[in-house]
Structure 1
Amino acid sequence: MYARSLFCLTLAALPLPALADTVWLKNGDRLTGKIAVLDGGKLLIETEYGGSIPIAWKQVATLESDRPLVVEFHGSPQDELSRSLSAADEGQVKLGNGSESRTVPLASISQLIHPKPLIQDFTWEGNVDVALDYKRAETNTDDYDVSFDTEAKHGLWRHNAQASYNREYQDGVTTTHNWEAEYALDRFIDEHWFWQGRLDYKRDHVEEVARQRTIGTGPGYQFWDNELGAFSLASLFNRSDYLFATGEKENFYSLAIKWDYNRYLVGKTFELFSTGELGKPLSNVADYSLDSELGLRYRVTDWASLNMKAEKDLVSGSEGDLDETRYTIGFGVGW
């Protein structure tokens, strides 16, 4: 008797495994893991044995989860927060909210995402993209493009860091050679509003604008930030210092709008992203500046991806102009 009691106490002291979400398929199979997101007709479930597995929503018989999920219905502008999902008859699921619950058809649900609290534990994610282009013809061209983008969050703070390096040779002559680094720190005031401070530095060894340094600060607004992506705008008051290839220098203050957008599609298989900044000087030393990027990323595995990007760098100034557009196709690593 004492041995049995000691055995029970030992079991009670052991940490219990985390409860897993369960998805039942119409063919009789069952998957366990963590439901990540439902979007574009694809349910993404994260498993320890097979990584992230996309499932066609129409093949799901029912499912259950003890985690809160935001449920979006076809034809309804209002989302619903469900504290849990419980299995029901085939083609249905039970939405639980404490003592109240209701059963809905799976076909009526268009989206499932996890709510993201404002204050959360430390998270870190990012991408490194590489593009190489070698052309051998009447003009031999070697093109290298490397970019780094990362974001870390902890509590009310968000750290953003970006860097890129571009170099191109034509018949051994350097036609493009530049690099850029930027760091931005956001302090959230509430769920949407934040204050940003940032430092940006660019170096170009070929174009007329040889160096650019910008320090800025200002308020920003986060429109959304969830499992399907994020979109934010920041209005900045900047001080910019330009050094031209002629040796002339300019420094001035400006106002700018900065955007950061990404959206996952088809169960996180594709990612559409865009970042950029449009600035207007408060004096006549320059007309305007634009630094933007638009791209599409395709996930091959949980960590590997293929990407296509278009980058636009435009400066109109009294001492020189910069107008450069780059198109790249490459591969990347994400975490």
Structure 2
Amino acid sequence: MMVASQSSAGSVGPLRMTFHHLKPTLDPKPLFPLPNPLNRRPMRSLFSLKLSLTFLLCLGALALSISGLLAIELPATTTSLHLRNGDRITGVIASESTTEIIINSPTLGQITIPTAQVDHREQIPAPIAVPPAPTIVPAIAKPVITQPPPPKPKHWATDVQIGMNLRYSATDATDYLAAVHTTYTKGRMREALNYSFIYGKTGDILSANRMTASSKTDFDMGERWYLYNLAGAGYDKIRRIDSEYEIGPGVGVMVLNSLTNHFVWRSEVGFSFQEQFRNDYTDQVTYSARLAQLISWKLWEKLTSNTHFEFFPNLQNFGDYRLRLETTLSYPLLENISLNLIASDLYDTLPVFGITRNDFQIRSALGLRF
């Protein structure tokens, strides 16, 4: 290759390039070599393959999701079509176009209605499915044990005693006894009514003819203390008393009430006024204090004892007094029948002229309680 030189005159002549003797070489090397597939790096090819597989998997998952959404059956919406003539058709719209509406009615079936006849439409919300109520198995009713009603309180209690003593000997003797004891209890009040009658003969001579009746009212003031009023009347032909009566108030106290030993002890203090009409045409008036002890004791399982002891000191003359003692032993034969042994003693320092001061008797009687 030759390049023209600059002349002496300073002008530049034409530049000429001449290629001489161009010969191919034994190892030609191209100026811009083409890419060879075999020369690609194996790591780059593996990355491209993974990228392509990931893209395909994403496309598959998207397609499955879309197909699943399309496969979900949406609940059909109930529509009510109001026609221009005033009718109304309710059902599920099967298809709709600009000219007609095909609706499935539960009563009329599938109906085609021109769009021009529809005045307006109304969407009816689907009914809310209410889960069925759980089946409640009724519990087996337990048998109710009915308790018997408590017995009504018994206010009245009565004890009737009937006795007869017979003796056939050189001198025959016959004695009759009748007694009634009645009590009434209600609240804080107690009422006790007593009546007794004794009549007897020894031979042709009157040996007993006495009657007594009394009423005693108690009113409780508390658990232990109570007030009382006592009234009585009667006669005693043997002691030559045609009639007598007495009355007197007082106060009492429950000294001991042992449920374990079945022992009840009450003590009373009060006043007594007594008047006797005697068959010697004299009257005896006595003002006395009254000191009484009332004891009830269950000696054994079936044997009870009731003792009434009364002492009347004369307030006009402290040397005179009256005393009254009565003890009853009761043994039950049956539920309401009992055998009673009664011992009584009457003592008076001011008797009728010719009558002894003391009168002691022992009697037996059959008792009926109800």
TM-score (norm 2): 0.56
Q: CA deviation at 1:229?
A: 4.9
How far apart, in 2, do the equivalents of 1:286 and 1:246 lie? 24
Residues 224, 334 of structure 1: alpha-carbon distance in 2 compared, 3 angstrom cutoff: farther
1:262 to 276, 296, 299: 296
| Alpha-carbon distance in 1 for matches of 2:241, 2:313 | 17
Deviation at 1:319, TM superposition (A): 4.8
> Post-superposition shift, 1:152?
2.1
> Where do residues 108-147 of structure 1 align in structure 2 (5 Å cutoff)?
121-147=153-179
Alignment RMSD: 2.9
Q: Which residue of 2 aligns with 1:290?
A: 323
- Asked if structure 1 preserves the Cα contact closer than 8 Å seen for 2:309 and 2:326, the reply is yes
Q: Deviations over 1:11-30 (max 9, x none)?
A: 65x843369xxxxxxxxxxx
Report how many aligned residue pairs link the two structures: 231
Q: Which residue of structure 2 aligns with residue 277 of structure 1?
A: 310
- Measure the CA separation in 2 of the matches of 1:240 and 1:233: 21
Identity of aligned residues (%): 16
The structure richer in strand per residue is 1
CA distance in 2, matches of 1:131, 1:156: 34
CA distance in 2, matches of 1:161, 1:256: 19
Using the TM superposition, give the Cα deviation of residue 318 of structure 1 relative to its aligned residue in structure 2, in angstroms: 6.7
Separation of aligned partners in 1, 2:300 and 2:184: 25
Tell me if 1:330 matches 2:365: yes
Q: Structure 1 residues 122, 304: CA separation in 2 closer, same or farther (over 3 Å shift)?
A: closer
Residue equivalent to 2:221: 189
Letter in 2 for 1:212: E
Question: Displacement, 1:210?
Answer: 3.1
Partner of 1:206: 238
Contact 1:141 1:170 in 2 (8 A): yes
Amino acid at match of 2:339: L
Q: Identify the match of residue 17 of structure 1 among 132, 148, 167.
A: 148
In the aligned structure 2, how far is the partner of 1:240 from the partner of 1:148?
23
Residue 25 of structure 1 is matched in structure 2 by: none
Whether the 8 Å CA contact 2:239–2:352 is kept in 1: the answer is: no
1:221/1:233 contact within 8 Å kept: yes
Which amino acid letter does the alignment assign opposite residue 296 of structure 1?
Answer: L
Show CA shifts across 1:97-143 (max 9, x none).
xxxxxxxxxxxxxxxxxxxxxxx955333422222111111101011
Q: Which of 187, 192, 206 is the equivalent residue of 1:155?
A: 187
Conserved 8 A contact 1:168-1:177: yes
Name the aligned partner's letter for residue 237 of structure 1: F
Distance 1:286 1:147 in 2: 33
The DSSP-based 3-state class of the residue aligned with 2:320 is strand
Structure 2 CA distance for partners of 1:319 and 1:265, relative to 1, 3 Å: closer
Assess if the C-alpha contact under 8 Å between 1:252 and 1:285 holds in 2: no
Contact map agreement 1:222 1:232 (CA 8 A) in 2: yes
The one-letter code matched in structure 2 to 1:300 is: L
- CA drift of 1:314 comes to 1.6
Distance 2:366 2:304 in 1: 14
In the alignment, is residue 230 of structure 1 matched against residue 264 of structure 2? yes
Q: Which has the higher helix share?
A: 2
Letter in 2 for 1:184: K
Runs of at least 5 residues in structure 2 that lack an aligned partner in the other structure: 1-134
Query: Hey, what's the Cα distance between the residues in 1 that align with 2:165 and 2:218?
Result: 36
Alignment-derived partner of residue 200 in structure 2: 168
1:275-308 deviations in whole A, cap 9, x for unaligned?
Answer: 1311011113981111210121111122111121
Higher RCO structure (Cα 8 Å, ≥6 apart): 1
Partner of 1:218: 250
Alpha-carbon distance, 1:328 to partner: 1.0
Look up the match of 2:277. 243
C-alpha distance in structure 2 between counterparts of 1:285 and 1:224, whole Å: 30
Distance 1:199 1:206 in 2: 22
Query: Mapping of 1:8-87 within 5 angstroms?
Result: 8=141, 15-17=146-148
TM-score, normalised relative to structure 1: 0.62
C-alpha distance in 2 between matches for 1:136 and 1:150:
34
Cα distance in structure 1, aligned partners of 2:232 and 2:257: 24
| One-letter identity of the residue aligned with 1:233 | S
Change (3 A) 1:285 1:145: farther
| Greater Rg by CA | 2
**Which moved further from structure 2: 293-302 or 186-195?**
293-302
Q: Any stretches of 5+ residues in structure 1 without a counterpart?
A: 20-119
